[in-house]
Chains A and B, each alone.
Chain A
């Protein structure tokens, strides 16, 4: 990674390809005008990313997990829900690679099938967070004035709730005692509580990048040329604010997988018979002394999934940040 100040010493003027100079016979322009077509930020970032093994590894893992979530039967023919009590706490073997849990269910099958709930919840929560937070941030940043103040204060209120605590309160209210929610309803509730508690972060991110871009010369110029609000937002602001948002979103998928597991672990999130890594870990904790493998396998999958998303996000962020080059 070179120091930016050096880069500016070295690259003023922008490096020109001498071959190209020779190839374009005297167009009557000053030499400087015929320099190499500058690569865009995205092109540069992609060039940077392609060389990172970490990027490829995490991308491969993510692909694997997504396939696992979509078609779990490709990986396991076992039954994830029904068990045979006679096999209770059976050790890992050729029949059941990861062993059997206390109810005699195949841990390998459960781990594979657990990917779906974890990943679907995480992806949908991120989507919701991005949409709500992004829209709020865009409105607050672009409108400014009292709209900005109001939205910012509302965001503060939700931001003031510590994440785990807030989720506990929301979930005990809607998913607490005696509530007989269906599987889809519980999932929706978990997604909702993750979204409700996380959107302020995205909003702040979006708001600050809109504020930074709003007064940029090209936006002012577009406005002066009579471009409408919709056009400015869609054509100019959004593309410029999207990159940090997407990076954050990728990292957030990872942390939401972890958050879902934490909530399930605390007993307020997804519940059996839904299969998820968090539920498996929660169930395994009582047998940690006799059957540590019950904890190990779902935890390993959880960790791998979380790390893949976080690492992918980090790799993209580094590639997009010219300062870090």
Chain B
């Protein structure tokens, strides 16, 4: 296990460097003048240009720049916006909100997706099965912002059950609808993966063996069938937590949640590129780490993998 972890970590390093370098290069180097359009509608103040050039060696070649940038980043310094606000601050205030939203989304999709998947996997081709198949198809096909608008309009405007937007207190009850929206596509995937997995394993030899041993159906399904079928679902859930952070841009925009996604969105609108780069890099890092975690989880869940 230890060796596996080290190997996976080592594999992660080039990917992380490659991805972050790509982002850095795109934002600071490709446009030619690194400050073109980086400070909103006006030209960047000379003071900011001097400060940034000095701090990040912007007059040097791209590799030196990237190296300097990463050095700062690894020391926990994300730099400043042109108006002098610390980007660390921005991330620290908004990240917990996104985290909260992502956890709610993950919980909702796990509970609903799994329940639907297990029920339909056990009893295929019934009414419930078709209902779930059609609704998951919709959820997968619809862009998040359409789902978001429709639910916001229905629950918030038309029926007035909840406020259309989330207050700054981020109460749990306010997060249910945004969480559902954020997790909707993954919920559908989880339902489908669980359904296929359960349906496939239900006919497997070891389930047949468990029945032949005279175990009660509860135990055959709840222990033997579920444990095997959950492996792909759990890995999906893990990968998702990383992806949810990225997907939160749209959801947070719609429900005006002051999270990291909304910060990115706002930075794009106000053309605050330094913030965009920093947040994207944080999100990429989280995404990669979550994928690593999933790999480890996978090895822990399936004993056949550990020794290969």
Contact = CB atoms under 8 A, between A and B. Distances in A.
Q: Do chains A and B touch in the complex (CB under 8 A)?
A: yes
A243 interface: no
A261 B153 CA distance: 19
A156 B15 CA distance: 6
A314 B137 CA distance: 9
A230 interface: no
A288 B142 contact: no
B143 A261 contact: yes
A227 B277 CA distance: 50
Nearest to B267: A172
A283 to B, nearest CB: 12
Interface in A105-134: none
Given A161-B19, A178-B37, A262-B250, A168 B143 contact: no
Which secondary structure dominates where chain A touches chain B?
Answer: helix
B284 A162 contact: yes
A162 B287 contact: yes
B145 interface: yes
A265 B284 CA distance: 22
B48 interface: no
A169 interface: yes
B50 interface: no
A160 B242 CA distance: 10
Interface in B244-266: 245-247, 249-250, 253-254, 264-265
Nearest to A302: B146
A265 B141 CA distance: 17
B145 A281 contact: yes
Contacts, number: 141
Interface string A281-316: 100010011001001000100110011001100100
Interface stretch (B22-30, B88-96, B110-118): B22-30
B141 A258 contact: yes
Contacts of A281: 145-146, 149
A172 to B, nearest CB: 6
A28 B137 CA distance: 55
A173 interface: yes
B141 A177 contact: no
Where chain B touches its partner, the secondary structure class is: helix
B247 A164 contact: yes
Among A158, A172, A303, A314, find the residue whose CB has the most chain B CB atoms closer than 10 A.
A172
Interface residues of B, number: 54
A156 B271 CA distance: 29
A169 B280 contact: yes
Interface in A135-171: 153-154, 156-158, 160-165, 168-170
B26 A160 contact: no
A71 B16 CA distance: 46
B18 A299 contact: no
B146 A156 contact: no
Given A157-B19, A160-B19, A164-B249, A172 B268 contact: yes
Interface of B: 14-16, 18-19, 22-23, 26-27, 30-31, 36-37, 40-41, 124-125, 137-138, 140-146, 149-150, 152-153, 157, 203, 242-243, 245-247, 249-250, 253-254, 264-265, 268-269, 271, 273, 276-277, 280, 283-284, 287-288
Interface of A: 1, 3, 5, 153-154, 156-158, 160-165, 168-170, 172-174, 176-179, 254-255, 258-259, 261-262, 265-268, 281, 285, 288-289, 292, 295, 299, 302-303, 306-307, 310-311, 314
3 interchain residue pairs of minimum CB distance: A162-B246, A177-B37, A157-B18
19 contacts: A156-B15, A157-B19, A161-B284, A162-B243, A164-B249, A165-B280, A165-B284, A169-B276, A169-B280, A173-B31, A174-B30, A262-B250, A266-B250, A266-B265, A266-B268, A268-B268, A288-B153, A299-B146, A302-B143
Given A164-B250, A173-B30, 19 more contacts: A156-B14, A160-B15, A165-B246, A169-B276, A169-B277, A169-B280, A170-B26, A172-B268, A177-B37, A178-B36, A262-B143, A266-B250, A266-B265, A266-B268, A281-B145, A285-B149, A288-B153, A295-B153, A302-B146
